[in-house]
Structure 1
Amino acid sequence: MDPEVIIHNSVSLDHAVTGFEVDLGLHYGALLAFEPGAVLAGSATAKTGIEMFMDIGEPEAEADRHRPGVRPDDPRPVCVIVDSRGVLKNLLHFYRNMEHTKDVVVLVSETTPEDYLDYLREREYPFIRRGGSRVDLKGAIRELGERFGISRVVSDTGPDLNDVLIREGIADTISLIVHPVIVGEGEKKLFGRAGGRTALELRKAVPMEQGTVHLVYSVKR
């Protein structure tokens, strides 16, 4: 059985994911409440996170070149990054060192540069290679479940990956922390090219702090 996939994001009232201040405590509190086995992000989102919150000039240490031991009873999720173009070459150690994740797995494709694959092998990053010119996300997530025993994946990413999760019928649930603000034009929206109409069923609507609301929808097949 394929892992359950949840799209999680913080949005404005007009569905923007940028252009306003996200309450990170609420965002990650709601995400971790799903008890995910893996947190999924695209390479662009992952790189932006490094640039915004970390010292990108911090060099890789010798310990960063080796996969840490993973205890079977460690409740922390695995960080899973879709990176078929090798965007995060020489940057993955930032995610390896994050205290709230226990491992880093990279999803790549047949066209991923060989030097990036060598980088992953040399540093003992597990990777899943599925798809031709881009990652076969449905197949990669299925293999993620089979190889790592993961039953629930929560995405924490931008519109490009959100679009794929909806367009290819991968997402089962959409979880939104809605902030009481309208940001207007010029900002990235939750979905950009998600395809045709997708019907949803509201599962819960919970008022939270500072006027935010947590909405959870099931994706109707």
Structure 2
Amino acid sequence: MYPEVIIHNSVSLDHAVRGFDVDLGLHYGALLALEAGAVLAGSATAKSGIELFMDITQPEEESDRHRPEVRPDDPRPVCVIVDSRGVLKNLLHFYRNMEHTKDVIVLVSETTPEDYLDYLREREYPFIRRGAERVDLRGALRELGERFGITRVVSDSGPDLNDVLVREGIADTISLIVHPVVAGEGEKKLFGRVGGRVALELRKAVPMEQGTVHLVYAVKK
């Protein structure tokens, strides 16, 4: 079973994902409305989120070393992080403790350091190992659907992961909260190297608060 994949992000009018004040209420409200079974992020985005919004000196507790019990009727999504280099070693407990997700699953590759895999095993983090030097996202997402019954994945990440999802034809939909601001030069954009022209079909355009607009596009394949 291969899940539906949606790229979700908040952007400026010039498609920057940094350099302006994101309305987090609108961003996550629209994300939750997508009713995803999993929220996907890259390791760099996940780590920067910890550094920006959490106390990175907070130590891991004994309870953080064990996988929480997940009820079958729990509607919260799982958090899925692409981390083939082990960037989040000793930091994953921050995501395990997030109230809006019920579990953490890590996507790794054949070259992922063995000490990071030991860290995941010891703390009962489920992981999917696909790809040689980098994570084979298509294969990993297919396994995510087959092993965990995930039918819809929403990516909430930066341009590196967005590029892969579009370039490899994985993304089905792009959901954007467009803010009425021009971020200017030097800021990271929504996409960097998608590898060519990608045609989109507008499915929804909804005005929101403070001049923002929610745009939803289907990716033509």
TM-score (norm 1): 1.00
Indicate the percent of aligned positions where both proteins have the same amino acid: 88
How many residue pairs were aligned?
221
CA deviation map 1:167-195 (0-9, x unaligned): 00000000000000001100000000011
- Residue aligning to 1:50: 50
- Residue aligning to 2:73: 73
Give the drift of 1:65: 0.2
- Residue aligning to 1:163: 163
Cα distance in 1 for residues equivalent to 2:194 and 2:56:
32
- Residue aligning to 1:210: 210
Secondary structure of the residue that 2:203 maps to in structure 1?
strand
Give the drift of 1:215: 0.1
Cα distance in 2 for residues equivalent to 1:184 and 1:195:
23
Letter in 2 for 1:96: R
- Residue aligning to 2:62: 62
Aligned pairs for 1:1-221 within 5 A: 1-221=1-221
Cα distance in 2 for residues equivalent to 1:129 and 1:26:
34
Cα distance in 2 for residues equivalent to 1:183 and 1:148:
39
Unaligned runs of 5+ in 2: none
Cα distance in 2 for residues equivalent to 1:199 and 1:218:
9
Cα distance in 1 for residues equivalent to 2:144 and 2:39:
12
Secondary structure of the residue that 2:169 maps to in structure 1?
coil
Q: What is the root-mean-square deviation of aligned Cα atoms in Å?
A: 0.3
Give the drift of 1:106: 0.1
Cα distance in 1 for residues equivalent to 2:95 and 2:2:
25
Letter in 2 for 1:85: R
Cα distance in 2 for residues equivalent to 1:197 and 1:72:
41
Give the drift of 1:156: 0.4
Unaligned runs of 5+ in 1: none
Secondary structure of the residue that 1:27 maps to in structure 2?
helix
CA deviation map 1:25-54 (0-9, x unaligned): 000000000100000000000000000000
TM-score (norm 2): 1.00
